[in-house]
């Protein structure tokens, strides 16, 4: 078998960029729990900024790799999917920043919801870890099921929040709206991590399996 | 379908070509067959191992002529190989412009002169001074062989592909070394083949030997003594009135033919082996 | 910052009354692969042969301008072209090992004819260079047999070894894979990527994909002019010149 050294090096490079992207996202999402502290807000802002830049870098590298190395089959799927996965990460960091801004606008988040947010964030982090482990180990057994189950938890939290807020009369409409948006964004992030999983499976198998 | 005019002319020319071929091949076959039929009788061990018995006796061989031919051809090669080789080398690799053109014309002229002229030249230069000798005959044949060796060497070197020369130069090797070690090495087998064919060409020469080596029945003791040669023996014996000598002449002719054939086939086989690479 | 190994300044080459190269200026970085691309007849090979003065063995060529190797013009009168050719090795389009020499002698013929005869040294060079080009294991038992018996790909690797035996600083390759099958070509490409750690490599190719795959820098020659020169990824994703763009898109040439 002939190695394609340069192509393999480029693919490794893209893999590393994606892992870097992963840690940026984890850092940003994790900080949601510590909101509304200024420090947490700053971390999220930084993550949003650097994920944007890294997203473009991954685009450039992927385009250059396709143009110069003529990848095919799995190599090609990997490179193209890398760009879309990077874009999803960038979007997740955007949403994290939206959440941070919304939390800032609320004077006091009800204790019950604080724990809901915490659970949602922890679940999302678990989902992210599933995607990372799958990517590093190139093993996709149960990825689909695991992500689906975890995403169900996040969705459940969102529904519970709606129920909880319906019964509350002592919170201003503005606060309610912000809280709904926060939980809605968390639910969106869960969906997006699911999409990352679907793309990883596509790289490995060439089959499109939506995770919902 | 009616045969067209074109196919008729086609048939006509094919028939004509076959006819011309037969005209050419029949006399050639006749010569070869006569030599074989008449020569085979006396092509025995005695022919090549013993000198003539006595001037009029029966039996005997042509050992004296075989030794003479070997001597004369050896001297001819000693003269023509280095000279012809370097002239060919010069023409192929270094000669440019007018001088090269002049040299090529000279070589052509040399190849074209009747061989007896070379004999006359050898006579005036050597025979007059040293007397009839193998040396004089070798000298004459050497002159005849030079243009053949020069041409075959030039052609052999001309066949070296540009890529091979370029590869040599690209290694930082000087020109003369590229020529001598790369080009000559590459064309080695063809150059050697050229040498052998030149040898085959002069081995049957008779005319220049008539006036340079004299002939006779003695095995030459050194290059300064008179000698005989196979083609000369054929000439002299064929003109004699004796049946026994006629038979020896036929056998000598067959022997000469076999020698030339072996050289030619040997060269072909040799080049074929080399061409496998 | 990359070091510049070869600097070409205003290089123009004429063949009789026809101008082949027009005022080429280019900076070749050290220990990188620079690809020179262009359609047939654009002057690529002439350009390459101007870089080691091999052009001078052909009649009718005139070279103007400078080619600086480590800052020194190789066309200066005090420079010996033999030394330049030893410092700048070359590999040709058609594998051209010397068929009358053994594998061993093919590798060391340059050294031998340049006066080096120390057997131990030659043995070492043969082994080192053949290992470098990945041929050692394939031929170590038949070093004395003719080089003509090797396959095309092996012959080309032998030719690379022959050039490397002189320990050159720069390696010029003139379409080294165009006469080879894809597998043998891929091996040569991998080899070049390995070799760039030690040598500055300039490869001429009309195979756009090959230039893209292995080079760090790429130059586009068109009708004797240097149209564009830059990092390969820029040339292939965002060329500045319209002609270059059409060329890498496969629309001309």
Question: Rounded mean pLDDT of B17-21?
Answer: 94
Of B84-98, C68-82, C207-221, C224-238, least confident by mean pLDDT is B84-98
Residue range C2-17, pLDDT digits in tens: 899 999 999 999 999 9
From CA B81, how far away is CA B145, in angstroms rounded?
8
**Between A152 and B1, residue with greater pLDDT:** A152
Question: How far apart are the CA of C113 and the nearest CA of chain A, in angstroms?
Answer: 36
pLDDT on residue B277? 46
For residue B44, name the pLDDT band (cuts at 50, 70, 90).
confident
Q: Which two tokens stand for residue B103?
A: 């040299």
From CA C99, how far away is CA C102, in angstroms rounded?
8
All residues of chain A having their beta carbon less than 8 Å from the beta carbon of residue C209 are 70
User: What dotted CATH number matches B63-276?
Assistant: 1.10.3720.10
Give chain A's contact residues with C (Cβ, < 8 Å). Answer: 2-7, 60, 63-64, 67-70
> Is A in contact with C (3 or more beta carbon pairs below 8 Å)?
yes
Q: Tell me the DSSP string of A110-135.
A: -HHHHHHHHHHHHHHHHHHHHHHHHH
| Residue A26: other Cβ atoms inside 10 A | 16
Burial C207-230 (b: 16+ CB within 10 A, else e): ebebbbbbbbbbbbbbebebbbbb
pTM: 0.82
For residue B2, name the pLDDT band (cuts at 50, 70, 90).
low
For residue B223, name the pLDDT band (cuts at 50, 70, 90).
confident
Q: Which residues pair with C88 in a beta bridge?
A: C170
Q: Which two tokens stand for residue C82?
A: 């033999």
Residues with Cβ within 8 Å of B70's Cβ and at least 6 positions away in sequence, in order, are none
Yes or no: say if B179 and B89 are a contact pair by the CB < 8 Å rule.
yes
Yes or no: say if C201 and C173 are a contact pair by the CB < 8 Å rule.
yes
Q: Tell me the DSSP string of B84-134.
A: HHHHHHHHHHT--HHHHHHHHHHHHHHHHS-HHHHHHHHIIIIIHHH-S-H
Q: Which helix (H) or strand (E) holds C226?
A: strand C225-231
User: Do the chains contact at B186 and C99, CB–CB below 8 Å?
Assistant: yes
> Which among C187, C193, C212 is the nearest to A67, CB-wise?
C212
All residues of chain C having their beta carbon less than 8 Å from the beta carbon of residue A14 are none
State what percent of residues in chain C have pLDDT above 70. 99
Question: How far apart are the CA of C225 and the nearest CA of chain B, in angstroms?
Answer: 25
With 60 as the cut, is the pLDDT of residue B276 above it?
no
From CA A159, how far away is CA A113, in angstroms rounded?
12
Question: Rounded mean pLDDT of A79-98?
Answer: 95
Question: How far apart are the CA of B228 and the nearest CA of chain C, in angstroms?
Answer: 41
Nearest CA in chain C to A10: C213
Question: How far apart are the CA of C189 and the nearest CA of chain A, in angstroms?
Answer: 9
Give Cα separations from B118 to B137, B209, C138 (angstroms): 9, 10, 57
User: Do the chains contact at C82 and B173, CB–CB below 8 Å?
Assistant: yes
Rounding to the nearest 10 degrees, give the CA dihedral for residues C43, C48, C49, C53.
130
From CA B42, how far away is CA B86, in angstroms rounded?
43
Of A92-96, A126-130, A167-171, least confident by mean pLDDT is A167-171
Question: Rounded mean pLDDT of B128-146?
Answer: 91
Q: Which residues pair with C24 in a beta bridge?
A: C11
pLDDT on residue A212? 62
Q: Which residues pair with C202 in a beta bridge?
A: C34, C172
Q: Which two tokens stand for residue C125?
A: 């060079």
pLDDT on residue B29? 93
Looking at chain C from residue 130 to 189, which residues have their Cβ under 8 Å from any Cβ of chain A?
183, 186-187
With 70 as the cut, is the pLDDT of residue B90 above it?
yes
User: Do the chains contact at B185 and C57, CB–CB below 8 Å?
Assistant: no
All residues of chain A having their beta carbon less than 8 Å from the beta carbon of residue C186 are 2, 4
Q: Which residues pair with C228 in a beta bridge?
A: C220
pLDDT on residue B268? 85
């Amino acid at each position: 078998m002939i190695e394609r050294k340069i192509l393999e090096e480029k693919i490794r490079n893209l893999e590393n960029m994606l892992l870097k992207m992963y840690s940026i996202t984890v850092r940003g999402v994790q900080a949601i729990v510590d909101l509304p502290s200024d420090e947490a807000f700053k971390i999220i802002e930084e993550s949003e900024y650097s994920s944007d830049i890294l997203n473009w870098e991954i685009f450039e590298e992927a385009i250059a790799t396709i143009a110069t190395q003529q990848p095919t089959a799995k190599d090609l799927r990997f490179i193209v999917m890398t760009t879309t996965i990077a874009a999803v990460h960038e979007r997740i960091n955007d949403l994290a920043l939206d959440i941070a801004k919304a939390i800032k606008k609320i004077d006091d988040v009800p204790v019950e919801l604080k724990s809901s947010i915490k659970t949602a964030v922890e679940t999302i982090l678990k989902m992210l870890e599933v995607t990372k482990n799958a990517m590093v180990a190139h093993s996709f057994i149960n990825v689909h099921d695991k992500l689906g189950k975890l995403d169900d938890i996040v969705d459940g939290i969102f529904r519970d929040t709606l129920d909880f807020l319906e019964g509350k009369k002592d919170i201003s409409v503005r606060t309610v709206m912000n809280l709904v948006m926060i939980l809605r964004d968390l639910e969106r992030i869960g969906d997006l991590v699911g999409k990352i999983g679907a793309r990883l499976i596509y790289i490995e198998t060439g089959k499109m399996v939506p995770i919902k | 379908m009616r045969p067209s005019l074109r196919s008729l002319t086609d048939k006509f020319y094919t028939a004509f070509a076959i006819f011309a071929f037969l005209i050419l091949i029949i006399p050639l076959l006749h010569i070869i067959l006569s030599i074989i039929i008449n020569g085979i009788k006396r092509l025995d061990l005695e022919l090549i191992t013993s000198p003539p018995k006595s001037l009029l006796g029966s039996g005997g061989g042509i050992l004296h002529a075989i030794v003479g031919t070997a001597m004369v051809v050896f001297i001819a090669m000693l003269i023509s190989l280095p000279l012809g080789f370097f002239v060919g080398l010069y023409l192929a690799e270094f000669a440019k412009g007018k001088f090269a053109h002049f040299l090529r014309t000279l070589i052509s002229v040399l190849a074209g002169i009747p061989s007896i002229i070379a004999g006359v030249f050898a006579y005036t230069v050597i025979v007059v001074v040293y007397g009839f000798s193998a040396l004089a005959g070798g000298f004459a044949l050497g002159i005849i062989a030079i243009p053949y060796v020069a041409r075959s060497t030039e052609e052999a070197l001309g066949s070296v592909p540009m890529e091979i020369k370029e590869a040599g130069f690209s290694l930082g090797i000087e020109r003369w070394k590229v020529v001598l070690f790369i080009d000559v090495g590459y064309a080695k087998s063809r150059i050697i083949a050229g040498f052998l064919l030149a040898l085959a060409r002069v081995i049957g020469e008779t005319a220049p030997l008539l006036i340079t080596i004299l002939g006779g029945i003695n095995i030459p003791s050194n290059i300064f003594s008179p000698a005989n040669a196979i083609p000369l023996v054929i000439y002299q014996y064929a003109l004699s009135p004796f049946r026994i000598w006629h038979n020896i002449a036929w056998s000598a002719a067959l022997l000469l033919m076999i020698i030339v054939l072996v050289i030619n086939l040997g060269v072909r086989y040799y080049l074929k082996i080399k061409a496998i690479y | 910052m990359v070091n510049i190994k070869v600097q070409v300044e205003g290089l123009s080459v004429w063949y009789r009354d026809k101008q082949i190269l027009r005022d080429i200026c280019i900076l070749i970085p050290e220990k990188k692969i620079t690809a020179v691309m262009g359609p047939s007849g654009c002057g690529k090979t002439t350009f390459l042969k101007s870089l080691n003065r091999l052009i001078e063995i052909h009649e009718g060529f005139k070279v103007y301008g400078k080619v600086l190797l480590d800052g020194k013009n190789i066309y200066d009168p005090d420079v010996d072209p033999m030394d330049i050719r030893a410092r700048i090795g070359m590999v040709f389009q058609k594998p051209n090992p010397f068929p009358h020499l053994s594998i061993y002698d093919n590798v060391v013929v340059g050294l031998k004819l340049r006066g080096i005869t120390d057997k131990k040294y030659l043995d070492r060079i043969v082994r080192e260079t053949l290992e470098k080009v990945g041929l050692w294991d394939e031929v170590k038992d038949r070093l004395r047999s003719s080089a003509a018996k090797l396959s095309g790909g092996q012959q080309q690797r032998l030719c690379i070894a022959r050039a490397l035996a002189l320990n050159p600083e720069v390696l010029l390759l003139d379409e080294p894979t165009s006469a080879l099958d894809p597998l043998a070509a891929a091996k040569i490409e991998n080899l070049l990527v390995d070799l760039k750690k030690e040598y500055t490599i300039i490869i001429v190719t009309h195979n756009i994909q090959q230039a893209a795959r292995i080079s760090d820098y790429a130059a586009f020659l068109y009708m004797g002019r240097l149209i564009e020169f830059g990092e390969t990824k820029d040339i292939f994703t965002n060329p500045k010149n319209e002609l270059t763009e059409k060329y890498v898109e496969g629309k001309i040439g």
